[in-house]
Amino acid sequence: MTHPRVFIISPADSAKADESYRIMEEAGCELVYGKKSWRVPQDSNEDEMWAMAKGADVIAGRSIRNSPITGRIMQNAPDLRVVAKYVIGVDDVDVKAATEQGILVTHCPAEAILGGTAEGTMGIMLTLLKKTREKDQAVKHGGWKDPSLEGRYVGRRQDGYPGLTIGIVGLGRIARVVVELLAPWKARIIAYDPYVDNKQFAARNVEKVDLPTLLKESDVVSLHVVLTDETSHMIGAEEIAMMKQDAILINTSRGQVIDEKAMAEALESGKLAAAGLDAFEHEPLPADSPLRKLGNKVLLSPHMINDGSGLGPGIEWTTRSVLAVLNGEVPDNVYNKEIIPRWLERFGGHKVEGFKSNR
């Protein structure tokens, strides 16, 4: 008997993942599991991934940025309906090739993790501005009320203190929650996003500015963008040079949006005060990364700032997407929406043979 073939390209270790795999197996799917070692930076795994993708109806799983899902891998699965990601980003998928081949690419919508990421952004910002780590270390080593431990007050005060200027790059759904969390503090919030209309800025009392203005005027610059050709290395040496010397740079989006070498050099030289990073150009962060040697000038997080949500919501969303496409239906989290009409012509209403739909 024929079974739908699901290639789990990067399995997850969690109860949610186990439940997802059980649901798909009960629906008649044959699951093929990739190797966990593929997530560790090493030589290309494309040939092995290509071989395991043969005949797949679905490719699903976590991100493997060092070994992306290429057009060649997808070509080895002529009936492939979807590449379904557990996470928001699709930067490890050749979306252009998928679109050309008529394959849907789905990802975890921001709603699944936006609260945790926004709270994590606030946590990074406050830790750096308030010098929380430095105060803790000082007291533990016998220190007390050293003026160098004094942090910075964020909001506007009645005594005339104007508050800090918080610059948001990318006013998407996660960034909007950050703005909501900041609102009671009455800090000045400015943002750059050429793809968001003016009404969205006005509704949140956010001042719309261009990127150079944001960099020059912000005390805190927080990045909330997806990785595209346009945003790759959008913050480099030239942009960092525009920032205030006592400014803080926060990135909870994708590591590749910052020129990491230029940032590390600016931190080392004192041209940039501090950086809080949950994403890096190469993950895991290499052992010889200069960022590891910058002490309290950096606050580093292993790409898991969305506490309380993690991969769980993304796995649930992916499971629903997989069941939908196997049943000939378009899921609600398609990234390359432009190919939906073409996809429906080929697969719409056509259930994969052997799939046990409960719809």
Q: Are residues 271 and 122 in the same domain?
A: yes
Note whether 241 and 160 are same-domain residues.
yes
Using pLDDT thresholds of 50, 70 and 90, give the confidence band for residue 358: low
What type of residue is 173? R
Q: What local confidence, expressed as pLDDT, does residue 1 receive?
A: 61
Residue 297 has pLDDT above 80, yes or no: yes
Q: Quick one: 94 and 42 in the same domain?
A: yes
Q: Is residue 264 a part of any domain in this protein?
A: yes
Q: Does residue 141 sit within a domain?
A: yes
72, part of any domain:
yes
Q: Is the pLDDT assigned to residue 308 strictly greater than 70? A: no
Confidence of residue 104 (pLDDT cuts 50, 70, 90): very high
State residue 63's pLDDT score. 81
For residues 192 and 287, state if they share a domain.
yes
Q: Within this chain, do residues 143 and 266 fall inside the same structural domain, yes or no? A: yes
Q: Which pLDDT belongs to residue 240?
A: 98
Instruction: Supply the pLDDT for residue 347.
Output: 96
The separation between CA 271 and the C-alpha centre of its own chain, rounded to angstroms, equals 27
Tell me how far apart the alpha carbons of residues 178 and 114 are, in angstroms, rounded to a whole number. 9
User: Would you state the pLDDT for residue 298?
Assistant: 98
Residues 6+ apart with CB under 8 A from 326: 4, 27, 29, 57, 58, 81, 351, 352, 355, 357
| Cβ(69)–Cβ(93) below 8 Å | yes
Same-domain pairing of 140 and 289? yes
Structure tokens at 314: 């993304």
pLDDT, tens digit (0-9, with 9 covering 90-100), for 132-148: 999 999 999 999 999 99
Verify that 315 and 208 share a domain, yes or no.
no
- 78 HSE (CA, 13 A, CB side): 0
In this predicted structure, the answer to whether residue 235 has a pLDDT above a threshold of 70 is yes
In a domain, 20, yes or no: yes
Task: Give me the count of residues in the chain.
Answer: 359
The least confident of 73-77, 281-285, 293-297, 343-347 is 281-285
In 327-358, which residue ranges form alpha helices assigned H by DSSP?
340-347
pLDDT exceeds cutoff 90 at 11: no
* pLDDT on residue 273: 98
CATH number of domain containing 319: 3.40.50.720
Note the pLDDT tens digit of each residue in 52-80. Answer: 999 999 999 988 877 889 999 999 999 99
Asked whether residue 359 is assigned to any structural domain, the reply reads no
Range of the structural domain that residue 191 is part of: 114-300
Find the angle CA(164)-CA(167)-CA(168) to the nearest 5 degrees: 140
Asked whether residue 86 falls in the same domain as residue 197, the answer is: no
Residue 41 in domain: yes
- Residue 27 pLDDT exceeds 70: yes
The pLDDT of 294-312, averaged and rounded, is: 84
250 and 285 co-located in one domain: yes
Domain for residue 273, yes or no?
yes
Domain match, 231 and 181 both: yes
CB 83 within 8 A of CB 347: no
This prediction's pTM: 0.73
**Same domain for 266 and 135:** yes
Bond into 184 cis (ω within 30): no
CA-CA distance, 162 to 108, in Å (whole number)?
39
Torsion of the alpha carbons at 74, 77, 80 and 84, rounded to the nearest 10: -50
102, 342 Cβ separation under 8 angstroms: yes
Average pLDDT, the chain: 92
Both 272 and 140 in one domain: the answer is yes
Who wins on pLDDT, 66 or 332? 332
pLDDT tops 90 at residue 327: yes
- What span, in angstroms and rounded, lies between the C-alpha atoms of 136 and 133? 5
Mean pLDDT of the region 4-24: 92
The DSSP H or E segment spanning 31 is strand 30-33
Residue type, 213: T
Name the token pair of 60: 């699903």
Residue 358 belongs to a domain = no
The region, left, alpha or beta by phi > 0 then psi within -120 to 50, assigned to residue 339 is alpha
Q: Does residue 319 register a pLDDT over 60?
A: yes
309: pLDDT strictly greater than 60:
no
Residues marked active site are found at 254, 283, 303
Residue 311 has pLDDT above 90, yes or no: no
Q: What is the dihedral of CA 109, 110, 116, 121, to 10 degrees?
A: 150
Instruction: Give how many domains the chain has, as a whole number.
Output: 2
What confidence category does residue 36 fall into, taking pLDDT thresholds of 50, 70 and 90?
confident
